[in-house]
Amino acid sequence: MSDTFPLQATLRMRILLVTGGVLLALLLIISQVLLFQWREIIIARQYDSAVAVARTFAVAVIDALIEEEQFGGSREGVLQTYLDDFMRSLDNVKYVVVRDLQDQTLALSPAQSAGAIPAAAPAAGRPPAAGRLFRDPHFAWVIESRLPLHIAGKVWGTAAIGFDAAPIRKQVRLLFVLLFVTTMIVSCATLVVLHFLASRLTASLSRLVKEIDSVEFAGGPASPSSGTVDDIAFLFDRFDLMKQRIEQSLAQIESAQRQVYQAEKLASIGRLASGVAHQVNNPLHGIRSCLYAIRREPENTAQTQQYLALIEEEISNIETVVQKLLGFARQRASSVSRLDIAAATRKVVSLFDLRLKEKKLRVTLDLPADLPLVAIDHQLFQEVVMNLLLNSYDAVGPGGEITITAGRQDGGVFLTVKDNGIGIRAEDLPSIFDPFFTTKEIGTGTGLGLAVCQSIVERHGGRISVQSAAGQGAAFTITLRVDEDHESSDH
C-alpha cells in the first residue's frame, strides 16, 4: 500500500524525535550537573591538599624567621635556601613566595619568576588563609594556597604556594569524556529500543489502515484532508470514510427491510385471501347445495327444515370467520380490571372439560392461589387462554397431556401452557405469531389465533414467547405486569 510507508515514517520519526530529544536533553542536563558536582569535589580535595602542604611549609618558614631573629643574620638568604629546597622536593609546585605585611617580597622561588608571580592585596592585621584556582599568563592554570605567617600574636606576613592545576584539568576532561560517552551510549540504546517499539506500533497501525482500505469506500481511495501526510489525519480520514460506508450500508439495509416488510404484507394478504376464501367458500357451497335441494322438493317440509338448520350453521361459521378477522384488524375497546389469572384459567379449562375427556387428555393445573392480581381485560385474557388451550388440544393425540403452570417471574406473573404434542418445526418458529400463518390444514385454522394472543398480551404491557421443537411438544408462556395497586396494598 502506497500510503503505509508515509504513515510509518512520520509516526516513527515523531516518536523518535520527541522522545529521543527529551531523553537526550535530560541526560545532558544530568551529565552537566554531575560534572559540575564532581569538578567541585575534585577542586575541594586539591584545595585541602594544598592547604595542608602550605601549613606544613608555613610552620617551617616561621621556625626559620624566629631563628634568624634570635641569632641574627641574613633572613632573606635562609628563606631563599629553604624555598629552593622546598621547590626541589615537590614536582607539582609552580612557585613559592613569602611577603611581609606591606606585601613586599621577602623570598621567592624560582627567582626568575619575580615578575610573573601574581601580587596579593595588602591586608591589615592577621590575613586569613585563602585559596583560589585561576589561569596565570606565565604558569597557566594554578591552585594558589595563601596562609598567614603568625605565632603568639606576632605576624610576619603571608606565604603563598602555587600548585600545578594541570592534573585537575586532565582529570575533569577525562570525567567529561566519560560522562559524554556514557550519555551517548545510553541515548543510542534508548533510541534503538524506541525505534523497535515505534516500529511495532506503526506496523499495527498500518495493518489497521490496510484492513480499513480493504473496504470498498465510495469515492475512491482516501487521502489526508489536510493535504499533508499526517498520521492522525490519515487514520481520521480512513475512519470517516468507513463511517460513511456504514451509513450507506445501514440505509441500504433499512430500504431492504422496508421492501421485505412490504413483501411480507403482500404475503399476509395472500394467506388471508386463501384462508378466508376457503373458510367462506366451503359454507357457501353447503348453503348453495341446501338451497338447490329445497327448490327441488319444496313440499318436503322435514327436509327443508333440516337444510335450513344446515344453512344457519354455515352462516354461523362464516360469521365466526368474519368476527375473528375484524377482531384482529380492529380490537374492541378493552376494560382493564384487576384479575386473578388462576381463577380465570380454571374457568376456561372447565368450559373444555367435556371435549378434553372425549379425547382422553390429561390436564394438570399448577396455579397457586396467592398470586398477585394483574391488570388486564377479563374477557380478553380468557380469549388468550382459550386460544392457547385450543392449540394444545389440536396438537396432542388421544391420551396426551397438557400442563398449565403459573407463578411469579421478574416482578410479574407468568402463565405457561405446555403440551406433549407434535411440536413446531424450527423453521416455523419465527413466523408462529405472524397473522394468517398456520401449520394446520387449510380450512382447519385461520392463522389468527396466536397473532390475536400476542396483540392482546402486548397491549396490556406483557409479552408472549414459545419454546418448542419438532416431536417434543410446545410451551407457550405469557408474562403480565402485576397490578400496582395490589402490590402497594400487600406491602
Give the CATH number for residue 225.
1.10.287
308 and 347 within one domain:
no
Total domains, the chain = 3
Q: Is residue 421 part of a domain?
A: yes
Q: 477 lies in which domain range?
A: 334-490
Whether 86 and 146 map to the same domain: the answer is yes
Alpha carbon separation from 265 to 20, 38, 79, 252, 451 (Å, rounded): 67, 91, 129, 20, 14
Q: 183-196: per-residue pLDDT in tens? A: 888 888 888 888 78
Question: Based on the domain organization, do 24 and 144 belong to the same domain?
Answer: yes
Residue 207 covered by a domain: no
**Is 143 in the same domain as 45?**
yes
Query: How far from the centroid of its chain's Cα atoms is residue 190's Cα?
Result: 29
More confident residue, 125 or 257: 257
Q: What is the DSSP letter of 373?
A: P
**Residue 432 located in a structural domain:** yes
Q: What's the pLDDT band for 312 if we cut at 50, 70, 90?
A: confident
Q: pLDDT at residue 50 above 90?
A: no
**Domain-embedded: residue 191:** no
Whether residues 11 and 120 fall in one domain = yes
| Higher per-residue pLDDT: 385 or 352 | 385
Does residue 258 lie within any of the structural domains?
yes
CATH number of residue 374's parent domain: 3.30.565.10
* Whether 407 and 269 share a structural domain: no
What are the cell numbers at 393?
A: 388440544
**361 with 383, same domain?**
yes
Whether residue 158 sits in one domain with residue 14: yes
- pLDDT attached to residue 478: 92
414 is a domain residue: yes
Are 317 and 416 found together in one domain?
A: no
Q: Is the pLDDT of residue 402 over 50?
A: yes
What's the pLDDT tens digit per position in 267-302?
555 655 665 666 677 778 778 888 888 888 888 888
Does residue 158 share a domain with residue 119?
Answer: yes
Residue 216 lies in a domain: no
H/E stretch holding 205: helix 166-213
The reply to whether 354 and 478 lie within a common domain is yes
Which CATH number is 128's domain given? Answer: 3.30.450.20
Q: How many CB atoms lie within 10 A of CB 432?
A: 20
Mean pLDDT for 442-458 is: 73
| Residues of the chain above pLDDT 70, percent | 74
CA dist list (Å): 214 to 58, 201, 207, 232, 246: 90, 20, 10, 19, 14
For residues 337-365, average pLDDT = 83
The mean-pLDDT minimum among 31-45, 128-142, 316-330, 426-440 falls in: 316-330
Residue 203 in domain: no
